[in-house]
Structure 1
Amino acid sequence: MSVVAFERKSATGAWSESELNTIVAALNAALGPAKGREWETGATESGDAQFYLLDSLPDQACELCVSRIGGRYILEDGSGRLLFEHRSLPLVAQHARAAVSSRSWSLVARLVLLSFTVRHTIQEKVEPLLIEGEELLVHVAPQLAIFA
């Protein structure tokens, strides 16, 4: 048996300057000292290029990841869920911008939901206890007045 040596593909782990400019321009509103976010590049185990949008210090958790694998650009969130995939980097960058801006609105929605939950809990659990205490005082007050 003979072994045929196939030519290996060269690693494509480096972003071109135009690709980086496209991604950074799309995410420009999410980056900067005011937001505290930063970006970093890397490579997959296979050597494919990756772009990471990192949260603010000290955690610097990955919020978004854009990967270039075999001519396709793949957008994932920080949990590794696929958000979008296409051959056009500007289109993927637009979806990345939308994903970052929707993330802040989801935080606002969570805070509003939390405030409604706290208010509902107070109305359902605490107010009945206060009303029962008033009723008890109304029934016991005449008996206590005898001792006064």
Structure 2
Amino acid sequence: MSVVAFERKQDNGEWSEKELNTLAAAFGAAMARGIGRRWETGMTENGDAQFYLLGPLPEQVCELCVSRIGGRYVLEDGCGRLLFEHRNLERVALHAKAAVPSTSWLMVRAITLWFAIRNTIHEKVEPLLVEGEELFVQFVPQLAALA
């Protein structure tokens, strides 16, 4: 018996219509919120297909990336950390839907600013108020004696 090695069929680096519909449906809610997210497709250095979920303008930071590498779908966050990997795109799409950041960057910045202001008041202003109260308690009896 002889064994014949078949060449692996190379992907052309493009997403099929069915794959794009599956991914667009998974990210549809994230893009419909009016935040300004959108998606793009691309290729890796080896010609593997990639799907990017981009953040709002002007930065358009990559928030999530789905790559098709040799029949497997790989989900990564915007920093390139692996979140999930599977041969079934629907499963990857479910994990991608759950991994979409739901808080906008503007909201994150507002929350951070609020905590910075609150911390400044707590650390800087409150001690001044407490010291002023202590001084007031010490000088009131002396002022009452003068009256």
Q: State if a TM-score over 0.5 links the two structures.
A: yes
Offset from partner CA, 1:30-85 (integer Å, 9 cap, x none): 11471200100000000000000000110001000000000000000000000000
Match of 2:28 in 1: 28
Match of 1:104 in 2: 102
Match of 1:3 in 2: none
Question: CA separation of 1:35/1:114 partners in 2, compared to 1, >3 Å: closer, same or farther?
Answer: closer
1: CA distance, partners of 2:23 / 2:34: 19
RMSD value over aligned CA atoms?
3.3
TM-score by length of 1: 0.76
2: CA distance, partners of 1:20 / 1:13: 13
Contact 1:11/1:46 (<8 A) preserved? no
Match of 1:68 in 2: 68
Q: Secondary structure at the match of 2:23?
A: helix
- Give the superposition deviation at 1:134: 1.7
Question: CA separation of 1:56/1:113 partners in 2, compared to 1, >3 Å: closer, same or farther?
Answer: closer
2: CA distance, partners of 1:57 / 1:113: 21
Match of 1:14 in 2: 14
Alignment length (residue pairs): 139
- Give the superposition deviation at 1:106: 9.3
Sequence identity, in percent? 64
Contact 1:67/1:74 (<8 A) preserved? yes
Contact 2:35/2:104 (<8 A) preserved? no
2: CA distance, partners of 1:56 / 1:90: 25
- Give the superposition deviation at 1:11: 4.8
1: CA distance, partners of 2:34 / 2:94: 21
Structure 1: 5+ residue stretches without partners = 1-6
2: CA distance, partners of 1:35 / 1:115: 21
- Give the superposition deviation at 1:124: 5.3
Match of 1:130 in 2: 129
1: CA distance, partners of 2:87 / 2:10: 20
- Segment drifting more, 63-72 vs 7-16: 7-16
- Segment drifting more, 109-118 vs 8-17: 109-118
2:30 counterpart letter in structure 1: A
Q: Secondary structure at the match of 1:27?
A: helix
TM-score by length of 2: 0.77
- Give the superposition deviation at 1:118: 5.3
Match of 1:52 in 2: 52
